[in-house]
Amino acid sequence: MKRLTLDNIVYYNERISYRKLKDINVTFDSGTLYLIISDKKLDALLLSILIGLEMPASGSIIYNEKTLKNKNDFNDFQCSIGTLIINDSLLNNETVMINYELILSDIGLAKTTINERVVKLFNQYGINTNILNKKVKSLSDEERCYVLFILAIVNEPDLIIVYDVFHDLKVREKIIEWLKELCSKNNTTVIFFTQERESVTLADEIWRFHDGRLTFVKKIEDK
């Protein structure tokens, strides 16, 4: 099943020469983990397009066979997908649970539902629930990664977009293992941005983003 399609996506900024996308054409299927090896300057732009923060100059974005046409469509899209971005804007002086409640209430989840889902997921993935009562500013890098992973999946999205800045290799491998499990069990689509070339063994398909263009590299069975 086609999960997300970028059809002839073009983006340019006349004032900033490197902010360009050139005829991006790709379809991301369900149940698949895609690895996009990207340029450091350019990946943020493609990432912003994929998570609905910026609209392209031309072309179409199609999510679950529906073309996103206006601001409301993009807002609904943002609420439907999961994102795992380590530098996300968590409130440092609030507890982890309060952060979950504030963020997830914006997409219509009741406080009791949020608490039940979060605790269940922490237990399911073997994450210490004591973290929920800690303030974000006191979290270790490992704990912060786990908190953001749960935030990305708590609303049971069928599409998860990850920006790879994991500093701890073991934590990184564990989260990728969890993401691959979601692909196989829940038919989730995962799009994983990285600059780390040794990550190629982790994905079902490898793509390269360079000079504003996205090009197919290989499927994992092609190795």
Burial of 162 (0-12, 13-18, 19+ CB in 10 A): buried
Rounded to 5°, the CA angle 192-197-199 comes to 50
> 108 lies in a domain?
yes
> 207 lies in a domain?
no
- Beta-sheet strand order (sheet of 82-85): 82-85, 159-163, 189-194, 33-38, 205-210, 213-219
Domain membership of residue 147 as a residue range: 95-156
> 135 lies in a domain?
yes
pTM of the model as a whole: 0.90
β-pairing verdict for 58-63 and 33-38:
unpaired
Number of domains, the chain: 1
> 23 lies in a domain?
no
> 147 lies in a domain?
yes
**Cβ distance 119 to 129 under 8 Å?**
yes
Burial of 130 (0-12, 13-18, 19+ CB in 10 A): exposed
How far is residue 91's CA from residue 176's CA, in Å, rounded to a whole number? 25
- What is the SS3 assignment for 16? coil
**Cβ distance 13 to 180 under 8 Å?**
no
Rounded to 5°, the CA angle 210-215-219 comes to 125
> 69 lies in a domain?
no
> 206 lies in a domain?
no
Q: How far is CA 135 from the centre of its chain?
A: 24
Per-residue pLDDT of the chain (223 residues; tens, 9 = 90+): 899 999 999 987 666 555 578 889 999 999 999 999 886 655 677 888 888 888 888 899 999 999 999 889 988 998 899 999 876 679 999 999 999 999 999 888 899 999 999 999 999 999 999 999 999 999 999 999 999 999 999 999 999 999 887 778 888 889 989 999 999 999 999 999 887 766 666 789 999 988 888 999 988 765 4
> 101 lies in a domain?
yes
